[in-house]
């Protein structure tokens, strides 16, 4: 690995290490700065709730298992922030692929910060 490769941050690097990948193979990367409180995520996923104090959404967990994947993909796809690209990103920690919303169609992380 070159020094340049060591400086590249992968999608699964955002937010720290978390639990073992075998237990929770998926990670939520949430652009809270882009959330405007539409609440679509909380409508479709039990992992998401609206914070009354801030007026923004927040997940109960940033690390999820297979049993929670479908609802969090729905939340990411339902989010209207960033011109319907969303501010919730579901990442496979094993491959660093963005599963949702994946606006580029190639699994690259679509975070804007």
- Look up residue 67 and give its two tokens: 């049993």
Is 62 inside a domain boundary? yes
CB 37 within 8 A of CB 52: no
Is 18 inside a domain boundary? yes
Is 21 inside a domain boundary? yes
Q: How many percent of the chain have pLDDT more than 70?
A: 87
Please tell me the total count of domains within the chain: 1
pLDDT in tens, 45-64: 999 999 989 899 999 999 99
93-102 in b/e form (b: 16+ CB < 10 A) is beeebbbbbb
pTM exceeding 0.85: yes
pLDDT for the residue numbered 84: 86
Indicate which CATH number applies to the domain containing 37.
3.30.70.20
Average pLDDT over residues 3-18: 64
Is 4 inside a domain boundary? no
Is 1 inside a domain boundary? no
Average pLDDT over residues 90-109: 95
Is 107 inside a domain boundary? no
In terms of residue numbers, what domain contains 45?
10-100
Is 64 inside a domain boundary? yes
Rg (CA), the chain: 14
Is 52 inside a domain boundary? yes
């Amino acid at each position: 690995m070159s020094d340049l490769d060591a400086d590249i941050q992968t999608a699964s690097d955002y937010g720290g290490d978390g639990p073992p990948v075998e237990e929770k193979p998926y990670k939520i990367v949430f652009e809270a700065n882009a959330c405007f409180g539409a609440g679509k995520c909380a409508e479709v996923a039990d992992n998401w709730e609206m914070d009354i104090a801030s007026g923004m959404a927040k997940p109960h967990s940033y690390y999820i298992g297979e049993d929670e994947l479908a609802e969090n993909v729905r939340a990411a796809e339902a989010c209207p922030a960033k011109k319907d690209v969303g501010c919730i990103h579901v990442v496979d920690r094993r491959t660093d692929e963005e599963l949702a919303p994946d606006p580029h169609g190639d699994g690259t992380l679509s975070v804007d910060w």
